[in-house]
Structure 1
Amino acid sequence: MKIDVIIPVYRPTEKLHKVLYRLCRQTHLPEQIILLHTRDGIKLDVSVCKDRVSVTEIPILEKEFDHGRTREQGIWMSDADIVVMMTQDAVPADPFLLEKLSEVLNEHPDAVAAYARQIPDQNCGLLEKIYESFQLSPKKPD
């Protein structure tokens, strides 16, 4: 199945480079990564994906950046079977993210969505660590 990854980009940090690097080393590579970028005078370095994955940069105005509308714009630019929405700072923890998400969707053909747990960054603040561990506990419900 063809997979595209959509990432809205607003004032990116170096973490975006790490996200792109990890996406381009997945066991199931995306067909393309669509970056909807406000630019903000920053040139994105997408060289980590060279010769591995197509990266499409779509410029958008900062004043038009909106989490919902921006993602929807990315969906309209994709013709993939599966569209994975990510944030610019959600670094894949391993090379199996896209493989596992697509497996779940293939096993459940009536499903329209699947999601993955986000692990807090080691350098994030205490409140974020508490929030993420509470909201996204690895424990299964009884």
Structure 2
Amino acid sequence: MKLIKLRISVIIPTLNGANDLSKLLNQIKVQTTEIDEVIVIDSQSTDDTVQKALQLGAKVLQIPKHDFDHGGTRNFAAKKAIGDILVFMTQDAVPYNNHTIENLLLPLANPETIVSYGRQIPKPGTKITDQFLRLYNYPQQSLTKDKKDINAMGIKTFQNSNVCAAYRRLEFNKLGGFPNPVVSNEDMLFAAKAIMAGYKVVYAADALVLHSHNYSYINLFKRYFDIAASLEHEPIIKNVGRAEAKGYDFLIEQFKFLRENNRFLAIFQASLEAIFKYAGYKLGEKNNCIPMGLKKYLGLNKNYWDRQLRNKC
């Protein structure tokens, strides 16, 4: 199967992303791989996201903001796409160079590989704790993962990324696409499903994309609340290894990194971040015991919890 003959669709969910979208779409235009279409699926932006997308040649799909779902919205756009390969990106990501998509697609030449995801490079101005997060989760060496790696890698076997990832459409559809509804982690949940079905997932370290966050402590709490709640969709992830163990390893390596770079004040910051992450994650694990109306204040994805509450009523 030669990728050069396959059609490529890039899918980007957006909400008030005008400030970032121009950079992303312009960089997609100069990729060495020909892109057959770019689909922007917008959730009622109040800025000029839609206008910029249209001006730069993207197809635009629009949905009500309250209908956005990390899995369902991407599945909807995938059904409208013409591509044999589906590349999902986020509005705040920018290809690092003009080879990003080309390098992202190369692993899909192996028919056993269903998805490949790229390496995230922190943007200028990113706080050092998030810089380390990108270094830790996205190293310089590429990696192919399948079911035989679960014993050694545990939960990291299923790492994936919605920031920049390419999927074989046929196999993506065969496995039912992303879980829906889902509050977070649709990428990781799909990777778990794919690996358990016998497919491979590839981390393509040469597919570079600029992406990072500067989350506040409160938003870190909310993000990890949603992450823990999302794992209820795929118990296999929790069964192969406790996320806390990987969290401890991450924290130890982060402290070493900060100490080696003489960022001693940042060690205090990293400790506070760890407390908020852990508290959010542990509470998220118990989300079934929390009143539905309260969850939208505890999680980052407020629309998801609002929708769950409406469906319950």
TM range (shorter): 0.7 to 0.9
Secondary structure in 2 matching 1:46 = helix
Cα distance in 1, alignment partners of residues 72 and 11 from structure 2: 12
Q: In the TM superposition, what whole-angstrom CA distance separates every residue of 1:70-89 from its partner, at most 9, and x where no partner exists? A: 11111111121100011111
Secondary structure in 2 matching 1:131 = helix
Retained in 1: the 8 A contact 2:21–2:53? Answer: no
Report the equivalent of 2:30. 25
From 2, 7, 13, the counterpart of 2:12: 7
Report the equivalent of 2:171. none
Provide structure 1 residue ranges, at least 5 long, that are not aligned to the other structure.
none
Letter in 2 for 1:66: D
- Equivalences for residues 75-94 of structure 1 within 5 A: 75-94=78-97
Retained in 1: the 8 A contact 2:40–2:53? Answer: no
Percentage of identical aligned residues: 27
Identify which of structures 1 and 2 has the higher relative contact order when contacts are C-alpha pairs closer than 8 Å and 6+ apart. Answer: 1
Provide structure 2 residue ranges, at least 5 long, that are not aligned to the other structure.
1-5, 144-313
Following TM superposition, by how much is the alpha carbon of 1:140 offset from its aligned partner in structure 2, in angstroms? 5.9
Report the equivalent of 1:57. 60
Report the equivalent of 1:16. 21
Following TM superposition, by how much is the alpha carbon of 1:19 offset from its aligned partner in structure 2, in angstroms? 0.6
| Matched residue count | 136
Following TM superposition, by how much is the alpha carbon of 1:139 offset from its aligned partner in structure 2, in angstroms? 4.1
Cα distance in 2, alignment partners of residues 34 and 125 from structure 1: 31
TM-score (norm 2): 0.41
Secondary structure in 1 matching 2:71 = helix
Cα distance in 1, alignment partners of residues 123 and 10 from structure 2: 21
Cα distance in 1, alignment partners of residues 64 and 139 from structure 2: 36
Letter in 1 for 2:15: Y
Alignment pair present for 1:66 and 2:73: no
Cα distance in 2, alignment partners of residues 29 and 46 from structure 1: 18
- Equivalences for residues 36-55 of structure 1 within 5 A: 36-44=41-49, 45-46=52-53, 49-50=56-57, 55=58
Over aligned residues, Cα RMSD in angstroms?
1.9
More helix by share: 2
Cα distance in 2, alignment partners of residues 135 and 7 from structure 1: 22
For residues 64 and 47 of structure 1, do their structure 2 counterparts lie closer, same or farther at Cα, with a shift above 3 Å needed? closer
Secondary structure in 1 matching 2:39 = strand
Cα distance in 1, alignment partners of residues 40 and 53 from structure 2: 10
Alignment pair present for 1:138 and 2:143: no
Following TM superposition, by how much is the alpha carbon of 1:90 offset from its aligned partner in structure 2, in angstroms? 1.1
